[in-house]
Structure 1
Amino acid sequence: MNYTLNQLKIFLKIVETRSITKASEDLNLTQPAVSIQLRNFQNQFDIPLTEVIGRKIFITDFGLEIAESVENIINQVYAINYKSLSYKGLLSGRLKISVVSTGKYVMPFYLSDFIKLNPEIELLMDVTNKNRVIKSLENNEVDFALVSILPETIQVEKLDLLQNKLFLVGNSKEHAIAYTNKNFSELPLIYREKGSGTRQTMEGFIKQNSVSVLKKLTLTSNEAVKQALLAGFGYSIMPLIGIKNELQNNELQIIPVKGLPIKTVWSLIWLKGKKLSPIAVAYLNFLRQEKDKIIQEKFSWYEGY
């Protein structure tokens, strides 16, 4: 066996994404480079690690077993590096955070200065929908999660970071006002996918106000909803945090509706009773000291709505 650490990382990423294309994007490598390294790694085994059927790559049972061993090897390599840096008195290691999709407009501002102060820290931030975020927290796969709706199925501790405001938004204010004055239920509404916190909040508002929805479109990301609004597909109840530029450029409009905005809170949460790593403890201490300053410097525009 003569495999390299680079080959191990590439193989593990392919197993994770089930795609040469996605693996190359995540690793900032070309597809041919990833394919060559995968082939070189596979050639060291008599049993196939992967199978390609049509254009889709599948991981064999043997490949999954090898991937488990590869993950252990890489974790041990990281541990060696972290111990070396810790011995020098530097804060080092992995900080793993799972973030609901709209939270990508929030979390980076609460991370950048901490990472600059501690350049040896490796940040792993997964951006996905609320259900997957809670699952990763429940499985103890991450240190923290950023949510706007607290989970009901697990016990957590929290640190509130920023208020979350959701408004009815569209690209034609005049048209929407004509609708809302007549009947809010006649608006063509755009939904996020099931499992999204934004969708959960929107459905709660609709149910609470007994609004019947006659026409709706479901899209799988905040960006997709925003593009649909810009194209004039309809209206949606959206978090203010993700539409700053579009509002300031008058590309989207907030539509006044009784009962809106809906207000929740962006909170960093972690499992109750979890033994936090030194990095996680340091990050919480940083946030407690700096969060008000971050709000003032990065989110002052937010208070105008």
Structure 2
Amino acid sequence: MNYTLHQLQVFLKISQTQSITKAAEELHLTQPAVSIQLRNFQDQFDIPLTEVISRRVYLTDFGREIAGAAEKILNEVYAINYRTLAHKGLLNGKLKISVVSTGKYVMPYFLSGFIRQHEGIDLMMDVTNKLKVLESLENNGVDFALVSILPDHLKIDHVELMPNRLFLVGCGFEAEPGKVYEPSLLKDLPLIYREEGSGTRYMMERFVEKNQLTIRKKMELTSNEAVKQALLARLGYSVMPLIGLKNEMDNNYLQIIPVSGLPMSTTWYLIWLKSKQFSPVAQAYLDFLKKEKDNIIHQHFGWYERY
């Protein structure tokens, strides 16, 4: 047999995602490249490793055994790399963070300086909705999580990063100069919501319930980017976090509609379980963040104060 570490990595990712397409996306490869690596890997075995049913890739019993072995081999390779760096006196290991979807506009700026300082660190950042973020944290699958609403069912510690402000946003609304509209305005607008489990949806629903509004028409989309594109296409209006709208606001593609009671404000928090035993990497990152967060905010988010 003459399989490579790259083939093991590709096969393991396919086993985890059950999809050539998703494996290619996560490995930053093309689908044909992943298919070729899978075929070359399979050619070294007389027993099938996978089967395709309804366009999903399933492992055979033998394939599951090989996937388990591949994971062990790759973990040993990573361990060798980390030990090599440790002998050079370099910080090394994995830093695992789960981030709510809007947090993708925030978290990279609080990571970039740290990652540049320590080339031996592998960053694993999962961007998903609030429910899945908290599930990863609760299951001890990550070191930290970025949220804008603190969970009340977990025992956590946290560091405050920066404000998260939500405004009513849309395109083409002819607002009267200087006028602040009543919340009842939302009853007459087609509203666009995020999906269930989203922190943004939670805040929007709080505003609607607080003002006892009956919404006439609404649409539900599963990401802030999808909501943003729908706003630009003039499909409706939404209560959105300002943090992801810099380009659209700077270029007047979208507008803030002044409404009494808005903006609503929360805070971006980096949280972790109170019982968490930090790795040297996680502890070093927390120390970095506490020291540098004010400089990061000033450097990258000064524009935020204009609104």
Secondary structure, aligned partner of 1:172: coil
User: What CA distance in whole angstroms lies between the structure 2 residues aligned with 1:62 and 1:143?
Assistant: 33
> Does the 8 Å CA contact 1:179/1:186 hold for their aligned counterparts?
no
Q: Which amino acid aligns with 2:191?
A: L
| Letter of the 2:3 counterpart | Y
C-alpha displacement at 1:182, in angstroms? 6.1
Q: Which moves more between the two structures, 20-29 or 294-303?
A: 20-29
SS, match of residue 91 in structure 2: coil
State the aligned residue count: 305
1:120–1:181: structure 2 CA closer, same or farther, 3 Å change rule? Answer: closer
Tell me the CA shift for residue 254 of structure 1.
Answer: 0.6
Alpha-carbon shift at residue 43 of structure 1 (Å): 3.2
- Match for residue 279 of structure 1? 281
Cα distance in 2, alignment partners of residues 148 and 182 from structure 1:
26
State the partner residue of 2:215: 213
Aligned partner of 2:203: which letter? Answer: T
Amino acid at match of 1:48: P
Q: Which amino acid aligns with 2:14?
A: I
Query: Aligned equivalents of 1:278 and 1:58: distance in 2?
Result: 37
Q: Secondary structure at the match of 2:140?
A: coil
Q: Which residue of 2 aligns with 1:36?
A: 36
Q: Say whether the 8 Å CA contact 2:99–2:145 is kept in structure 1.
A: yes
Question: What are structure 2's unaligned runs of at least 5 residues?
Answer: none
1:187 equivalent in alignment to 2:179: no
Aligned-residue RMSD, C-alpha: 1.9
CA contact (8 A) 2:182 2:260 kept: no
Equivalent runs, 1:18-29 vs 2, <5 Å: 18-29=18-29
Contact in 1 for aligned 2:156/2:273 (Cα 8 Å):
yes
Deviations 1:83-120 (A, max 9, x none): 11112100111111111111000001101111111122
Correspondence for 2:206: 204
Match of 1:7 in 2: 7
Query: How far off is 1:67 after superposition?
Result: 2.3
- Kindly report which structure 2 residues correspond to 1:204-243, keeping only aligned pairs within 5 A, or say none: 204-243=206-245
Q: Contact conserved, 2:183 with 2:259, CA < 8 A, in 1?
A: no
Q: Indicate the larger mover: 1-10 or 81-90.
A: 1-10
- Alpha-carbon separation, structure 2, partners of 1:220 and 1:58: 27
Distance 2:181 2:290 in 1: 44
Deviation readout 1:68-87 (Å, 9 max, x if unpaired): 33222212211121111112
**CA 238–225 in structure 1, closer or farther in 2 if over 3 Å, else same:** same
Task: Give percent identity, aligned residues only.
Answer: 64
Distance 1:294 1:228 in 2: 31
Q: Which residue of 2 aligns with 1:60?
A: 60
Task: Provide Cα deviations, 1:179-219, integer angstroms capped at 9, x if missing partner.
Answer: 85864212111011111111111112211221111111011
- Structure 1 residues 272 and 288, CA, compared in 2 at 3 Å: closer, same or farther? same
In 2: Cα distance, 1:286 partner to 1:265 partner: 20
In structure 2, the residue matched to 1:249 is 251
User: Aligned residue for 2:143?
Assistant: 143
Counterparts of 1:90 and 1:213 in 2: how far apart (Å)? 56
Higher mean alpha-carbon deviation, 115-124 vs 21-30, is at 21-30
Gaps of at least 5 residues in structure 1 are none
CA deviation after TM superposition for structure 1 residue 141, in Å: 1.1
Deviations 1:243-265 (A, max 9, x none): 01101111101111111111111
Q: Distance in 2 between matches of 1:182 and 1:134?
A: 34
Query: Does the 8 A contact of 2:180 with 2:260 survive in 1?
Result: no
Residues 29 and 261 (structure 1), Cα distance of their counterparts in 2 relative to 1, 3 Å cut: same
Q: Contact 2:183–2:260 (CA<8 Å) still a contact in 1? A: no
Rounded Cα–Cα distance in structure 2 between residues aligned with 1:251 and 1:24: 33
**Partners of 2:295 and 2:68 in 1: CA distance:** 43
Cα distance, 1:16 vs structure 2:
2.3
Alpha-carbon displacement from aligned partner over 1:143-199 (angstroms, at most 9, x marks no partner):
111111112222111111111001110012316989858642121110111111111
Report the TM-score when normalising by structure 2.
0.93
Cα gap change, 1:235/1:276 in structure 2, threshold over 3 Å: closer, same or farther?
same
Matched, 1:258 2:237: no
Distance 1:64 1:262, change over 3 A: farther
